[in-house]
Amino acid sequence: MALSTYLIKTAPTLAHKTVSLPVFSTLVPTTLVLSAASETDDDLSGHLVIIGYGVCGKQIAYDTNQQRAPFHIIELDEIPE
């Protein structure tokens, strides 16, 4: 219980450092062709919308890209090229 507040505050930093380890780059490829979201709802019909490009979002995007299905990613942080 005493560590809960500390762990909640440091979780994003710890997760970022953990995902930056070389072992994760072999598990989840980071090079994908990402499409930019358009401003109209009509253009998004039939697309998968992935909210967040963390570990799970990257895996979902990778699998979706392998299936050649259209998708858009919504991410607050900058996505490295």
Query: Could you report the per-residue pLDDT of 35-73, keeping only the tens digit for each?
Result: 544 455 556 677 888 888 888 998 999 999 998 888 888
- 77 domain residue, yes or no: yes
Task: Say if residue 2's pLDDT is above 70.
Answer: yes
On whether residue 17 sits in a domain, the answer given is no
Total tally of structural domains belonging to the chain: 1
Q: Is residue 5 part of a domain?
A: no
Residue 56 confidence (pLDDT) = 92
Nearest to 79 by CA among 42, 50, 44: 50
Q: Chain-centre distance of CA 12, in angstroms?
A: 14
pTM: 0.46
Domain that holds residue 32: 22-81
Q: CA-CA distance, 59 to 38, in Å (whole number)?
A: 23
